[in-house]
Structure 1
Amino acid sequence: MDPFINMSAQFPNGAVPNPRFVLLDYFFPGFSMFTSALHTYLGIDLNFYIPLLVAIFGLNFVWSYFSTSAWAWIDEYLMSSFRVRTDDEIYNMLMLWISRQKFSQNSRRFLVNTDLYSRSSYIWGGSNDDSDDEDGDEEISVDILGPKQTLHYTPSFGSHLFWYKGWPLFFERHQNQQQINFQSASEREELSISCFGRNPRLLKELLLEARQMYLKKDERKTLIYRSSSGSAYGGEPYWQRSMSRPNRPFSTVILSEKMKQDLIDDAADYLNPATRRWYANRGIPYRRGYLLYGPPGTGKSSLSLALAGYFRMKIYIVSLSSINATEEGLTSLFSNLPTRCLVLLEDIDTAGLTHTREEPDATPAPDSNPNSPKPPSTNTGSGGRLSLSGLLNILDGVASQEGRLLIMTTNHIDKLDKALIRPGRVDMIVPFSLADKTMTESIFRAIYAPFESEISATELALGSKSGTSTPKRIEPDEEAKERWARQHAEISQRIEVLSVQFSAKIPEHEFSPAEIQGLLLKHKRSPDDALEAADDWVIQTRKDKKEKEVQEAEKRRKEQEEEEKKAKAEEEQKKKESEGNTAKTEGVDQKKSAETKSADDTPKEPQSTGEGEVKAETPEVAKDEKKNTASDSEYERV
């Protein structure tokens, strides 16, 4: 049917739309009625406007096509750019720099975060331990609800224009096309910065500035990395930044001054670049190892932290007791270590690698029950649990990493294999012991020694006394500094006297430095109260230790009794099984004997074979013999 006839039928008054609108009416039903209504009631003729709209849309399409093509050509041949993904630490550096820029603060489309850093599960996750203020210093708050978290503003997804050193740059934040299912939306992103010109010098200066800002933030901190497994579906382990700690002064480590100085001198000589060349010229592996041993709470981990902070090194902590501590995993971790770092193996005696090479000929006692479960072996091969030989090859094998300081800590040095602590693997052994008189005095002085930052500079400058209103802060003058020096000397002298009195109340070689420090921290603002509480503390601590020893002895006794009961039950079970097997065997033998006896008692028809041999006769044989006998008788008669 002709559409024009239908339209004439729909509009009997003759107001038929223009035929050029037929195609539009075909794609947009009701368009002709709409145009007719506009023409009838409003006097608007779309014959004039539609060509103009078509021309506008056409020009817009042409402009969009040519502008996109032209910008793609400019971006390809006339601009320089770089991209950053979340699985690298440069993402953290660039995001910190972006958050400090003016265009990021003034952007109308922005993202707000309390943590700028990547939470990617690959490499640099877990670095949200730092809260930075506007100047890059860690913000400290005394709010009872917890530390304040700084809000960081960064541009949202899309392209943003900003100026850097007088040049226009484009910052773009967009989704990563290669998305991974188990990553969050905030991690599936990429950052890019572009600038006009084919020389990327400006971009490299920007990256260098961002890196310096990031490193300055951690200038007075010790970065701690821990080994972590791969992705949620398995993978190679990697180093994950876990936290950053303020550098610990060596003066706070409770150890003899001679031992501390020897350790510092040895590490400084090893880290000297000339020493590396000396090692290389003589073909000696460039490695250094220390063993710290002693009772718990004596300061082994504190010394490791202080040594790393003193030489501005990162700490890489490896847990050998982890379920992921395999030979292949540790080999991968050690191969990714930087050339200047400190590797810490804590409590190496608890990793199950003790005395696995000193008793190669030891054979287990024979087990009467072959079906009993065998204990797991600690000396497994490659790909399974870590073995002692595998650990030794990782530490100083042919393919081992060089240029790192290795520190091993243990509470029981006698449990370690001699091959693990031989010279070459362990170059210096540092013993730690329970607190003696000198160590107790050092701990007391370290807790109560006066620091200038703890005394109000305002009081020193104006001479205000405690309890008065705080005056306006000004810089202390020379008189205030002299007054501080005299006050410091008086307080230090008094603390020295109290430390001697305190050490006299604490028995030597009975308590660890951590235990003594715990007592002093309870009275950290009153040395007199700590001195007064020392006697009661000694009595109570001894009582608690004795009760703990009794509880542990009782626990060991119960465990031993349970083991004995279990062993006895197993022995009885084996005895019953053995008796059952014996009775079953005897029954079988008796049955066989009875069958044999019944077979012997069965009557048989014997047959003489000339010399007493008997054999059974058959009817055919008897008949033949009878015939032969008759023949013989007849022959005799003849």
Structure 2
Amino acid sequence: MTLPILGSLPQQMSVLDLFLPGFTNLTSAASQALSGNLTGYTQLMCLFALAAFLKPYVFQLKRWFIEHCTSTIYIESSDETYHMAQTWISSHGLDDTSRSILAKVRTKQNPTQGHDLRTKKALRYAPWEGSFVFWYKNNLIHYQSTLVDVGFRKEERISVTCAGRSSVLKDLLEDCRLEYLNESKNKTTIYGHRGERWRKEKAVASRPLSTVILDEEQKEPLIKDIRDFIDPETRLWYSQHSIPFKRGYLLHGPPGTGKSSFSLSIAGELDMDIYVVSIPGANDQMLKGLFSELPDRCVVLLEDIDAAGAACSRGSSSDDSDKVEFQLADRGIAKEIYRFMFGHERCDGEVERRADEFAAKVPESKFSPAEIMSYLLPYRNRAAAIIENCEKWANSLLQEK
């Protein structure tokens, strides 16, 4: 039996033709075009043909390089890392680098700038569904913003890519985190939710506990209990005794008595963020998903829990939380509110006398602290008129009730 023997390759055929068919002919034509042996029109056509021939191989080389020689980190807009990256991009003046930009009206402005046409409804810009490159620590970084399908809606997703390993990208995100924390210093971040995903809503200045007017016999033990609970030794004790590490407080009372303000001040005092859940709009599955995404240290505010009868429908027992009643203002609270409003700069005998006189004219347990503050605010520059008009204000408000 004889086997056919392959003949040798033609001399004009290069080994590359086995992998890139037509390579020899194209390079020969390109060589003639560049040497001037062809007409100008033919030269141009040869160059276009060469570009069309090489295009798919260039794209394959690009895909291979991206797959094997680069690192990418993805950031979802629903995660707080997204805000960290956006803060860093904005602070380094990269907002306008992308060719595709999203414009928004600034909801906050610097109070020192005043109000004029330059600051009213000022605009801010951010990269949107586009890409750009920038240098970071002598590394070229590729930033891209895309829209991805998430269920029945689209959400933005950021990707940052560099050549080599991802250590450079991790350093970049660490800088983003530190700059974001520095900007958020002395602020309390409030989170709401969309379905089972937490979303940052706003950051407000931390409110000191001293600004919340509450009976000291209630305030001090409550604050002490919270501090004891978040102490690392307490957590260790819970773990050693296999007890779930959780603590709840049921704040109840009429509107305006300081429940929300107290929650905000507690979060600011302990350097925690607030996660707000509206109980009437949440089901058991949603609550399970939300609570699984909570950080270790935070304040969870369950709003309107009485409207849904959640204490019964969700199997909660009264032993899980301490009840803290926020009452209407008695004489002592009314006096403390007056001293807070008018005695922060000086606290002398005159302020004490007027505080006692004012408290004596306010009916006990009829008005909330918020209602009393609303009455006092217009008189912040003329405290003497408070006593004179107090009785008239009280009678008018009682008639409305």
TM-score range, shorter chain: 0.7 to 0.9
Name 2:61's counterpart in structure 1. Answer: 70
2:215 is the counterpart of 1:259 = no
Name 1:223's counterpart in structure 2. Answer: 189
Instruction: Give the number of the structure whose alpha-carbon radius of gyration is greater.
Output: 1
What is the DSSP-based 3-state SS (H/G/I as helix, E as strand, rest coil) of the residue aligned with 1:241? Answer: strand
Measured after TM superposition, the shift of residue 281 of structure 1 is: 0.8
What is the DSSP-based 3-state SS (H/G/I as helix, E as strand, rest coil) of the residue aligned with 2:222? Answer: helix
**Which letter maps to 1:91?**
Y
Contact 1:113 1:153 in 2 (8 A): yes
Measured after TM superposition, the shift of residue 195 of structure 1 is: 2.0
Cα shift readout 1:340-374 (whole Å, capped 9, x = no counterpart): 222223443332357xxxxxxxxxxxxxxxxxxxx
Measured after TM superposition, the shift of residue 534 of structure 1 is: 0.8
What is the DSSP-based 3-state SS (H/G/I as helix, E as strand, rest coil) of the residue aligned with 2:115? Answer: coil
Question: Identity over aligned residues, as a percent?
Answer: 35
Q: Distance in 2 between matches of 1:172 and 1:318?
A: 33
Q: 1:390 to 1:251 in 2, by over 3 A?
A: same
Cα shift readout 1:177-203 (whole Å, capped 9, x = no counterpart): x5469546xx4x543222222x21111
Measured after TM superposition, the shift of residue 239 of structure 1 is: 2.9
Q: 1:493 to 1:111 in 2, by over 3 A?
A: farther
Q: 1:144 to 1:349 in 2, by over 3 A?
A: farther
Name 2:340's counterpart in structure 1. Answer: 446
Q: 1:435 to 1:144 in 2, by over 3 A?
A: farther
Q: Which has the higher contact order (CA 8 A, sep 6+)?
A: 2
Q: Distance in 2 between matches of 1:329 and 1:179?
A: 20
Alignment of 1:388-403 (within 5 A): 388=312, 390-392=314-316
2:209 is the counterpart of 1:250 = yes
2:240 is the counterpart of 1:281 = yes
Pick one of 71, 75, 79 that aligns with 2:70.
79
Name 1:383's counterpart in structure 2. Answer: none
2:86 is the counterpart of 1:192 = no
Name 2:99's counterpart in structure 1. Answer: 109
Contact 1:440 1:503 in 2 (8 A): yes
Q: 1:141 to 1:501 in 2, by over 3 A?
A: farther
Pick one of 108, 124, 144 that aligns with 1:152.
124
Measured after TM superposition, the shift of residue 221 of structure 1 is: 2.1
Q: Any gaps of 5 or more consecutive residues in structure 2?
A: 1-37
Cα shift readout 1:574-627 (whole Å, capped 9, x = no counterpart): xxxxxxxxxxxxxxxxxxxxxxxxxxxxxxxxxxxxxxxxxxxxxxxxxxxxxx
Cα shift readout 1:251-298 (whole Å, capped 9, x = no counterpart): 111112242221111111110111111011112221212233333322
Contact 1:99 1:152 in 2 (8 A): no
**Which letter maps to 2:197?**
Y
Q: 1:332 to 1:85 in 2, by over 3 A?
A: closer
2:87 is the counterpart of 1:96 = yes
**Which letter maps to 2:298?**
C
**Which letter maps to 1:327?**
D
Contact 1:448 1:525 in 2 (8 A): no
Q: Distance in 2 between matches of 1:208 and 1:524?
A: 46
Q: 1:114 to 1:62 in 2, by over 3 A?
A: same
Q: Distance in 2 between matches of 1:70 and 1:192?
A: 21
Q: For the aligned residues, what is the CA RMSD?
A: 3.1
What is the DSSP-based 3-state SS (H/G/I as helix, E as strand, rest coil) of the residue aligned with 1:286? Answer: coil
Measured after TM superposition, the shift of residue 510 of structure 1 is: 2.7
Q: Distance in 2 between matches of 1:437 and 1:291?
A: 25
Measured after TM superposition, the shift of residue 326 of structure 1 is: 2.6
Measured after TM superposition, the shift of residue 141 of structure 1 is: 6.1
What is the DSSP-based 3-state SS (H/G/I as helix, E as strand, rest coil) of the residue aligned with 1:304? Answer: helix
Q: Distance in 2 between matches of 1:195 and 1:216?
A: 26
Pick one of 517, 530, 541 that aligns with 2:373.
517
Q: 1:251 to 1:145 in 2, by over 3 A?
A: farther
2:168 is the counterpart of 1:202 = yes
Name 1:363's counterpart in structure 2. Answer: none
Measured after TM superposition, the shift of residue 250 of structure 1 is: 0.6
Q: Distance in 1 between matches of 2:247 and 2:284?
A: 21
Pick one of 156, 159, 169 that aligns with 2:141.
169
Contact 1:171 1:191 in 2 (8 A): yes
What is the DSSP-based 3-state SS (H/G/I as helix, E as strand, rest coil) of the residue aligned with 1:160? Answer: strand
Q: 1:296 to 1:50 in 2, by over 3 A?
A: closer
TM-score after normalising by structure 2: 0.79
What is the DSSP-based 3-state SS (H/G/I as helix, E as strand, rest coil) of the residue aligned with 1:348? Answer: coil
Q: 1:141 to 1:526 in 2, by over 3 A?
A: farther
Contact 2:78 2:197 in 1 (8 A): no
Measured after TM superposition, the shift of residue 493 of structure 1 is: 5.4
Pick one of 330, 346, 361 that aligns with 1:436.
330
Q: Distance in 1 between matches of 2:54 and 2:130?
A: 21
Pick one of 92, 105, 115 that aligns with 1:143.
115
Contact 2:99 2:130 in 1 (8 A): no
Q: 1:156 to 1:220 in 2, by over 3 A?
A: same
What is the DSSP-based 3-state SS (H/G/I as helix, E as strand, rest coil) of the residue aligned with 2:191? Answer: strand
What is the DSSP-based 3-state SS (H/G/I as helix, E as strand, rest coil) of the residue aligned with 1:114? Answer: strand
TM-score after normalising by structure 1: 0.52
What is the DSSP-based 3-state SS (H/G/I as helix, E as strand, rest coil) of the residue aligned with 2:381? Answer: coil
